[in-house]
Amino acid sequence: MSGEWAPPVFLDRDGTLIEEMSYLSDPELVRLEKGVIEGLALLMQRRHPLVVLSNQSGIGRGMFLESDAQRVNARLSDMLQGHGILIMGWYLCPHIPEARCDCRKPLPGMAIAAARDWHLTLPGSYVIGDKQSDLELADAIGATGILLTTGHGRASADRARRETRPVFDDLRGAAEYIGKRDTAAAAP
């Protein structure tokens, strides 16, 4: 790819990068999901910018502070950096669903902000997550949505398969799929 960036990959946090723990606010409880290091390393090798987009309604519900969510993000970032993995941007929506904000997934506000901040192209990008809202975000921005069966993913897996969406057991599988698409796109 000679110095060019590949399409961005937008990643959910809870249930995708880290084990799902309802309303996580304690950085000491952060545990990586299986395949995360291998998957992110593959994506980085292929020059995909990595951006985390996370709904954090626990803030809006008064269960924890935005600073608590940021500390969880910092802990995760430190864990990933220990493996040479860098996340380009971290975005969160602190609102409850009833707030009807434009940043809560599946609405595209966080992805639009990331695209603006980092000069990323949304169409042709990827969204990887464990919920239907992640797949719907992908549709909203012209991306390919990939469902993982980690976290809450099992609940949406049958529907995703009926919709002929890619479904994988972990982030490594999703990264390998993206790598095959990269290779096919680069072929003459």
Positions marked catalytic: 12, 14
> Looking up tokens 């593959």, which residue turns up?
42
Neighbour order of strands in the sheet with 89-93: 89-93, 50-55, 9-11, 126-129, 144-148, 167-168
CA nearest 130: which of 108, 101, 100, 159? 159
CB 123 within 8 A of CB 142: yes
CB 107 within 8 A of CB 126: no
DSSP code, position 91: E
